[in-house]
Structure 1
Amino acid sequence: MSDVIEFLEKMGRDAQLRHASSEDMELALDDAQIDAPLSSAILARDISALYDLLQLQPMFATQMEPGEEEEAPSREEEPGKEEEDAPSQDVRLANSRLATVAP
């Protein structure tokens, strides 16, 4: 199996080999001593056959983006929101007491 992987790596690195004619590719496969079924799959560029012959599975997974969530209502649409943002009377009273006590 390592011979096949090495050949595929070489094929990926070498543009001339990657785009070689069928005859040149057959010679390169023979030189690398790749088995006939694997050679046939490489010549046919049949990825699923290569996976089957090498007893491998693809090493990737599809990722999906989550669906879009609905937007929260804006401040303009929420009446009374301004009142919630303003400090309560208790906080204002406490702040005024601190201001009178502090030197």
Structure 2
Amino acid sequence: MNIEVVCINDKNRPNEVPLSRWIKEGKTYHIVEITKLNAQKGIYGCKLEEINNDDLFPYQYFRLDRFAVTMNEELFEKILEEIDISEAEEILQPNPQPPSKHS
């Protein structure tokens, strides 16, 4: 796994995590692992390629909601390939109604 993300929230750094091993808002990182953190009410956490906090139990993971996926051209094209335009047209274009009978 190697997902490029940008940090959107670097607030509330735990005192046990040195500033040198904390994320910075606006900086790009790469997620290498995602897991459900059951000890933290089931939120999702991630490990980053750029920062190794494995020795900082229980702070080995960053909250996943601190990051947003960056939209590069390759990802954008992949998303577009998966969209079936005909399905969207069926939803957006109402079915024609049969003419009413006035006898």
TM-score of the pair, normalised by structure 2:
0.29
Structure ID, larger Rg: 1
Structure number with greater CO (CA < 8 Å, separation at least 6) is 2
Identify, as 1 or 2, the structure richer in helix: 1
Identify, as 1 or 2, the structure richer in strand: 2
TM-score of the pair, normalised by structure 1:
0.29
